[in-house]
Structure formats: structure tokens, C-alpha cells
Amino acid sequence: MNMTYKQNYELINLDDYIQSGEGGMALTYSHKDGKTLAKLFMKGMGAETAEREFMVNKIVYEMGILTPKPLRLVTDGERFGAEYELIPNKRSFARIISQEPEQLEPLSLRFAQLAREIHQTPADTNRLPSMKDLIREQIVRYTDVPADVREKALQFLEAVPDTPTCLHGDLHIGNIITDGERTLWIDVGDFAYGAPEWDLCMIRRNLGM
């Protein structure tokens, strides 16, 4: 898939925003008008990283999967990122469970149902990347791993069927939010297609299993 996105970055003034979140690779800023959220990757990360994530978000949104609407590519002059629809009063399923432990079972069942719906959705394989291709790139890139181990991993990878169904790519209960009326998937920048087991592996990794 050609991940080159030709739209120009628009310069934003961070005086119009309030920092609202921090991750390992990016910071998020809520606009003071309460309508949009800007995600800016850390300094030194190439503009292509933001472009790729924004492109995938647009594809997912256009497929009709509920996710905050991607609006535009933005920069503060030093960092690159994108602006998205802000969901007021949203809470992730993970946060709800931490605040209301009695919601563990119903929200876990709802999460499983929604994940299954994704895994039953045919993917646009002409626009979305193959999870196998993404993993192959990572295996080849990590040269500090012994060559024989990488070779075995590549052999296993080739044996896995490349199912043309949707994958979230970072599937865990913190990446689904609700405002009380809508339930939406977030952090869909690694959305891809392939066997659903790839997403199940991601759940195990996030649980430390």
C-alpha cells in the first residue's frame, strides 16, 4: 500500500490548546473550543509517521467503523501530527472499570462482542496493510535478534494464513471509549488485515501474559 499522503500540514498555535494526554511517542492537546484533539508525535519522529497514522485513520473512518473523525494533518512548527474529532465526556472501558468495578463483567463482554464484529468485517485490502507484512518488516529490522531466530520467525510467519478481515492492531480494553451514547475505537493507526489471532496476541502482550 502506498502510504504517501499529499495533504500539506497546517500550522497550529498551541496557545489555543491544553495538553490533555501523554504517551510514549506523542502528546495530545484538546482545543479550547472543546471540539478537536491534536496528537503531536515527539520531536525527531518523521512526518511520515504522522502521515501514515492519519491515512490509516481516514481509511478506517471511511469504512464506517466508529472512531473519532480524522480532520487534518497539523504541526506546531517542530512536531508533526494530526487533529481529530474530540469526544466530550468520553471514558475508556478501562477507566470505567477502574472507577466502577461492578462494570467489569458487562464491559468485558461488550468489548469481546465489538472485537468480534471487527474480526468479522471484510477489510479493504487494497488500502489497508497486511499484518503479516508489518510484522515481517519488524522482524527484519530487529538485527540484534540472532539470525537463526529471525529465520524461524519468518518461516512461522509464512505459514500463517493472511485472512482478509479487519484487525485493530492494538486491541485492548483501553482503546475503546464511550460518551454514554456512542462507543468508538481509538488508536487505530495500526489497523490492518489478517488472521484475528494477531489481535489476540496483542491482548496477551498488553496483559503481560
CATH number for the domain including 191? 3.90.1200.10
pLDDT in tens, 22-40: 888 899 999 999 999 999 9
Residue tagged 504541526 (cell numbers): 75
Taking the C-alpha atoms of residue 30 and residue 6, their distance in angstroms, rounded to an integer, is 25
As a whole number of Å, the end-to-end CA separation of the chain is: 32
- Measured distance CA(68)–CA(57) in Å, rounded: 9
> Is 74 within a domain?
yes
Residues 22 and 70 in one domain: yes
10 pLDDT more than 70:
yes
CATH number of the domain to which 57 belongs: 3.30.200.20
Give yes or no for residue 165 having a pLDDT over 50. yes
Nearest to 174 by CA among 111, 124, 129: 111
Q: Which residues pair with 167 in a beta bridge?
A: 192
Distance CA 39, CA 79 (A): 10
Contact between 131 and 163 (Cβ < 8 Å): no
Q: Can you give the pTM of this predicted structure?
A: 0.84
pLDDT at 20 (0 to 100): 92
Is residue 206 within 8 Å of 177, Cβ to Cβ? no
Whether 30 and 74 map to the same domain: the answer is: yes
Same-domain check for residues 106 and 152: yes
Q: How many domains does the chain have?
A: 2
pLDDT in tens, 42-99: 998 878 889 999 999 999 999 999 999 999 999 999 999 999 999 999 999 999 999 9
Grid coordinates representing 162 are 493472511
Q: Which residue range(s) make up the domain with 69? A: 10-85
User: Alpha-carbon distance 134 to 191, whole Å?
Assistant: 11
d(CA 185, CA 2): 24
